[in-house]
Each structure stands twice: as structure tokens, then as C-alpha cells.
Copies of this chain bind each other. A is one copy, B any other.
Amino acid sequence: MKALTVKQLAAISGVTVRTLHHYDEIGLLKPAYVGENGYRYYEREQLLRLQQILFHREFGIPLNEIAELLELDGEDQVGLLLRHREKLEAEARRYADLIETIDRTIAGLQGQDEMKNADLYKGFSAEKQDEYEAWLVERYGDRMKDDIARTKKAMAKMSEAEQKAAMQELHDVEQALAEGLRRGVDPASDAVERMIARHRAWVAAAWDRPCTAEAYSGLADLYLSHPDFVKRYETIEPGFTDYLTTAMKAHAARQA
């Protein structure tokens, strides 16, 4: 029988000696036998097992799970692999999103803000609405439901052209405010106040009813609290969430 030392096994399997020590320590891969001198000796069976370990490790499966996995037979291994496949897909999608965000951020930093409305503003339409709705009701109670229903109707009765125009207006307002942030303009200043008034008007239009100071302040809280909004605003400019909401609150306070 060919017996491999740690070094040899390490060399042909591509791991380090320390890794073999570690796997021995945690009981994941024990040597075929240990010499009187304390040397670890591995045989073919261990090499096979190690290769299976490394196969699964590739996918980021933690070592203790690999240990359990190897006790199972083929049937169950397929199931586990499939579950892990989903995780990998989720990760892959996440990376794709991150890359997109970077691209947008760089475009923004370079002043090439020619991004299409449909891109950055799509978060406001379709499927996401349900999620926001559930969130708002949970947070603000049932009295929110009417407002939501009204907003949905208002959006629905807009033509596509009108929606586009509305999004353009929102975009302009936000870009102007972001410019204020970049220039270090006080969010409570008069200049910002004027843009905020436009923003509030936009909100009122979207809701299809007046937007009270209280409601506007509540909206600022929503922006601060819901990760989707935070992400959206931080994508426009880091720190923009706080800048916008501070300005909104200041505006609401003046009205009170």
C-alpha cells in the first residue's frame, strides 16, 4: 500500500500541510494511520475523501457541513447540492446587481447622468408596490391603506407619457438636491427649500391629494427606514438619504 506523508498528499491535492493538520484536528480527514513517531500517513481512501472535500469546499460549503454531507449517500447529496446551487445563484445575482450599482455610481460621479428613467426609477413601479404597501400598513396601521389605494389609482390612471413626465420631474428635483449636497449647501437653506417645495408638490401629485406637513414628515421617516429607499437614494449620491430627509423635515417644521 502506498502511504503518503502530509507533504506528499498536500502536493498532489493542492492544499497546504496546515490544512491537513486542521482537517485532522476537526476530524474531517483523519490519516489512515499514525506512525510511532507521530507522523501522519494517508492512503488512497483518504485521497479520495480529500478530493470530495475539496470539491464541496469550492462551493463555499462550511467544513462541518461537508463532514455531514460525506456521511450521506448519493440521493441526499443531490438534494444538498441543489440547495447550494440556489445560494450560488442568489450570490451571482447579487454580484450582478452590485456591478450595476457601481456602474451607475461611477456614471454619477463622472457627471454622466444620462441614465434612463426606467432604470433608476423602476423601483417605484410594479411588483415592489405590494411590498411597500405591506410595510407601510405594518408600520402606520390600517389608516394608511386608504392613502395607498388612492396613490395606486392615481398612478394607474396616468398615461405612460404622463408617468414618464412625472419621473422626469422627480429626477430633476432629485438631481438638483443632490447637487446641493455635493456643494455642501445647508439642507435647511432657502435654496434647498425651493426645491423641496417642488418635491412635495410632486408627492401630492403622485398621491392625488394634498400632502400635509405631517404626512410629508412621515414620508421622510419612510425614506430613512426602508432599505429600498435608502439604497435608491444612496445610489444617487452617498449621504443623499439623510440630506433629503433632513430637508423634508425642516420644510415640514416650518409649516407647523
Contact = CB atoms under 8 A, between A and B. Distances in A.
Given A59-B102, A77-B109, A14 B230 contact: yes
A246 interface: yes
Contacts of A239: 47-48, 51-52
Interface stretch (A87-95, A137-145, A164-172): A87-95
Contact of A242 (B51, B58, B85, B101): B51
Contacts of A243: 48
A43 to B, nearest CB: 10
Contacts of A234: 51, 54-55
For the complex formed by this chain, how many copies does it contain in all? 2
A149 interface: no
A5 interface: no
A99 interface: yes
Contacts of A59: 98, 102
Question: Which 9 A-B pairs rank lowest in CB-CB distance, beginning with the nearest?
Answer: A48-B239, A92-B95, A52-B238, A85-B102, A12-B224, A47-B242, A88-B99, A55-B238, A88-B95
Interface of A: 11-12, 14, 44, 47-48, 51-52, 54-55, 58-59, 74, 77-78, 81-82, 84-85, 88-89, 91-92, 95-96, 98-99, 101-103, 105-106, 109-110, 224-225, 227, 230, 234, 238-239, 241-243, 246
Given A14-B230, A78-B109, 12 more contacts: A11-B225, A12-B224, A47-B242, A51-B238, A51-B241, A55-B234, A59-B102, A77-B109, A81-B106, A82-B106, A84-B102, A92-B92
